[in-house]
């Protein structure tokens, strides 16, 4: 027989078929064979798809000897199609009285022995397809992640944003801090970098007159792995002409509360055993004032910052000035376990693309949003002064320990010289937001194929 069939007329998911049960209704469906129970000339089996499972029943006298023997020879894991009438057993379970069975794909490897609740973390991440077969909660997480993306798009489109696509390979790494991945284009004989962020391209579109744009994009950082970091990740970036960081506060509140309502039905949820209330308005704390209370001003020398952080019990060995200042965020994280927190008033040296406050050039109009103990979003009043932007880029180059990979993006500065309207810009870490809304402790549990260390011996 042909072990790998072609198209099959499956018209509806199994869960929908079961929900719309009608006695005697003729149905055709397909899925993976996950259980068999034989009783002489009568065999019951379970067929499962992504939406659920249904019981099927084969009687030798109904389907004939050849079809019955075919079904008896099938293995768990095989993908089959069945046709027949619906009925209910004595236990009131919806069942297909099979009249015809078709082998659609033969499984050459057996499912894991303990596939009912696969626990091996290595197998779950490296062979995600087995994880999806074995663990229904995992399937639900990724179905919900898809709903999250749809909710984000829906909120933005209702507010007049258009979705765009910008390059993933950049001649100059920019738009965010971080170590880039390098690649090489043979035909042009030029080095390129996988994007750190799409920010500079999106702001060029503001110059071009597209006043509200967003991109749900893949970005890359050549950095370490952790429960909150994957080198390839999904970020939402949105930009609105004539807005500022405060209008971005309103936008991110709408994005997250709409998504929470769509995925969980409300604004009060649980993350890792801790209740989390997303009801606006959200609290605000000043980064600059927090630093000032520690005796640290924007012009504080490196040694002074090190000493202040050591008093707070933080490890500061081997970190540069920017990395040290970022450690201050650890002071805010415990306060964000149960309610969101906007951290505002970041130092200008940490925000080369953000507009400074009119009354203080050392402080920017910027916020970072912390939620569930993690940074989830970042936003600015966008710097649109090309002269100041060039000065900031030059200062950043002077301080960079790896300045060989950095240079001023002249094409972006040139675009600003044509005039970019005042604007607000927002970046949201979609993977972390998915962790929070779907109550997952690791970023690997919301990314279908996370990057992993090579297997031993490979």
Q: Is the pLDDT of residue 421 over 80?
A: yes
Q: Is the pLDDT of residue 444 over 50?
A: yes
Residue 403 binned pLDDT confidence (cut-offs 50, 70, 90): very low
pLDDT of residue 117: 61
pLDDT tens digits, residue range 92-118?
A: 999 999 999 999 999 999 887 765 567
pLDDT of residue 60: 93
Q: In what order do the strands lie in the sheet containing 232-241?
A: 162-163, 212-220, 232-241, 423-429, 374-381, 366-371, 341-344, 283-286
DSSP SS3 for 11: coil
Q: Is the pLDDT of residue 166 over 70?
A: yes
Residue 400 binned pLDDT confidence (cut-offs 50, 70, 90): low
C-alpha separations of 38 from 57, 71, 312, 393 in Å: 10, 10, 67, 73
d(CA 73, CA 167): 51
Identical fold, 14-105 and 133-445: no
Q: Is the pLDDT of residue 79 over 70?
A: yes
* Number of neighbouring beta carbons within 10 Å of residue 441: 12
pLDDT above 70 covers what percent of the chain? 95
pLDDT of residue 430: 98
Q: Is the pLDDT of residue 325 over 90?
A: no
Q: Which of 23-27, 389-393, 401-405 has the highest mean pLDDT?
A: 23-27
pLDDT of residue 439: 96
Q: Is the pLDDT of residue 152 over 80?
A: yes
CATH fold group of domain 14-105: OB fold (Dihydrolipoamide Acetyltransferase, E2P) (2.40.50)
pLDDT of residue 135: 86
Per-domain boundaries in the chain: 14-105, 133-445
DSSP SS3 for 219: strand
pLDDT of residue 114: 61
The mean of the pLDDT values for the chain is 90
C-alpha separations of 397 from 90, 190, 347 in Å: 76, 22, 17
d(CA 100, CA 84): 7
* Number of neighbouring beta carbons within 10 Å of residue 100: 11
Can you name the residues that pair with 42 across neighbouring β-strands?
Answer: 39, 59
CATH architecture of 133-445: 2-Layer Sandwich (3.30)
Mean pLDDT of 260-273: 94
Can you name the residues that pair with 105 across neighbouring β-strands?
Answer: 4, 79
Q: Which residue has the tokens 């790998």?
A: 4
pTM check: above 0.95:
no
Letter string b/e over residues 50-86, b meaning 16 or more CB atoms within 10 A of that residue's CB: bbbbbbbbbebeebeeebbebbeebeebbbbbbbbeb
pLDDT of residue 227: 87
Range with the poorest average pLDDT among 44-48, 154-158, 391-395, 409-413: 391-395
pLDDT tens digits, residue range 213-259?
A: 999 999 999 988 888 889 999 999 999 999 999 999 999 999 999 99
pLDDT of residue 115: 56
DSSP assignment string, 128-190: HHHHHHH-HHHHHHHHHHHHHHHHHHHHHHHTT-EE----SEESS--SSSSPPPEEEETTTTE
* Number of neighbouring beta carbons within 10 Å of residue 35: 13
Can you name the residues that pair with 213 across neighbouring β-strands?
Answer: 162, 239
The backbone torsions φ and ψ at residue 337, rounded to the nearest 5 degrees and listed phi first, read: -70, -35
Cis peptide before 295 (omega within 30 of 0): no
d(CA 426, CA 403): 27
d(CA 86, CA 97): 6
């Amino acid at each position: 027989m042909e072990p790998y069939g072609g198209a099959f007329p499956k018209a509806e998911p199994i869960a929908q078929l079961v929900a719309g049960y009608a006695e005697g209704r003729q149905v055709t469906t397909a899925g993976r064979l996950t259980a068999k129970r034989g009783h002489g000339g009568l065999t019951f089996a379970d067929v499962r798809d992504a939406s659920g499972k249904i019981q099927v029943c084969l009687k030798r006298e109904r389907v004939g000897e050849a079809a019955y023997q075919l079904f008896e020879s099938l293995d768990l894991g095989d993908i089959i199609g069945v046709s027949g009438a619906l009925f209910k057993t004595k236990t009131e379970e919806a069942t297909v009285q099979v009249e015809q069975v078709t082998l659609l794909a033969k499984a050459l490897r057996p499912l894991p022995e303990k596939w009912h609740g696969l626990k091996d973390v290595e197998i779950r991440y490296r062979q995600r397809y087995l994880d999806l077969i074995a663990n229904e909660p995992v399937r639900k997480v990724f179905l919900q992640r898809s709903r999250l993306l749809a909710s984000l798009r829906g909120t933005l489109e209702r507010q007049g944003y258009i979705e765009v696509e910008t390059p993933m390979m950049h001649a100059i790494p920019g738009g965010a801090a971080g170590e880039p991945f390098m690649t090489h284009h043979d035909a042009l004989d030029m080095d390129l970098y996988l994007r750190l962020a799409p920010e500079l391209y999106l702001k060029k579109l503001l110059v071009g007159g597209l006043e509200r744009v967003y991109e749900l994009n893949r970005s890359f950082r050549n950095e370490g792995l952790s429960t909150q970091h994957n080198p390839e990740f999904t970020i939402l970036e949105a930009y609105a002409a004539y807005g500022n960081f405060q209008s971005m506060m309103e936008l991110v509140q709408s994005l997250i509360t709409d998504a929470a309502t769509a995925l969980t039905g409300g604004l009060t949820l649980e993350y890792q055993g801790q209740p989390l209330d997303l009801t606006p308005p959200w609290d605000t704390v000043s980064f600059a004032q927090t630093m000032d209370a520690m005796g640290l001003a924007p012009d504080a020398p490196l040694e002074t910052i090190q000493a202040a952080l050591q008093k707070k019990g933080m490890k500061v060995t081997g970190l540069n000035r920017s990395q040290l200042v970022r450690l201050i965020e650890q002071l805010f994280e415990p306060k964000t376990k149960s309610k969101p927190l906007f951290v505002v008033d970041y130092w200008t040296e940490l925000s080369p693309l953000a507009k400074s406050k009119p009354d203080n050039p050392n402080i920017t109009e910027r916020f970072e949003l912390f939620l569930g103990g993690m940074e989830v979003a970042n936003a600015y009043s966008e710097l649109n002064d090309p002269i100041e932007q060039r000065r900031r880029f030059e200062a950043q180059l002077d301080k960079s320990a790896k300045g060989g990979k950095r240079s001023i993006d002249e094409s972006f500065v040139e675009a600003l010289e044509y005039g970019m309207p005042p604007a607000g810009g927002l970046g949201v870490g979609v993977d972390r937001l998915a962790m929070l809304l779907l109550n997952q402790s690791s970023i690997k549990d919301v990314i279908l194929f996370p990057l992993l260390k090579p297997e031993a011996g490979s």
